[in-house]
């Protein structure tokens, strides 16, 4: 993956995303796996494409976090939940 690919990712505004998710909950079945982008300390990041909804066909980065690898201290939990 190169930096030009990164420019193609669409980022929803927080309010739009919250309203959309309230009415149309999103889960992993709404995405098609394209390729693995990398591995981090908590999990792996994949390039995916949304397969339904108003943003169908848009590429996204999907991070899959291994819960057992997250240290259960307050700082790690806050950092993980707030990560975008």
What is 3-82's CATH number?
3.30.200.20
Return binding residues.
Answer: 68
Count the neighbouring beta carbons within 10 Å of the beta carbon of residue 6: 11
Q: What is the pLDDT of residues 68-80, one digit of tens each?
A: 766 666 666 676 6
Return binding residues for ATP.
Answer: 68
Q: What is the pLDDT of residues 11-52, one digit of tens each?
A: 545 566 667 667 777 889 999 999 999 997 778 999 999 999
Give the end-to-end CA distance of the chain in Å, rounded to a whole number. 19
SS3 label, residue 24: coil
C-alpha–C-alpha distance, residues 35 and 45, integer Å: 9
Tokens 């009415």, located at residue: 23
pLDDT average, residue stretch 50-79: 80
Does pTM top 0.85 for this prediction? Answer: no
19 vs 62, residue with greater confidence? 62
The closest of 13, 3, 8, 4 to 60, measured between CA atoms, is 8
Domain boundaries, the chain: 3-82
């Amino acid at each position: 993956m190169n930096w030009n690919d990164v420019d193609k990712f669409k980022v929803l505004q927080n309010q739009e995303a919250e309203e959309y998710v309230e009415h149309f909950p999103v889960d992993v079945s709404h995405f098609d796996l394209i390729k693995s982008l990398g591995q981090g300390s908590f999990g792996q990041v994949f390039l995916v494409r949304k397969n339904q909804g108003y943003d169908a066909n848009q590429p996204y980065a999907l991070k899959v976090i291994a819960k057992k690898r997250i240290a259960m201290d307050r700082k790690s939990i806050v950092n993980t939940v707030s990560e975008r």
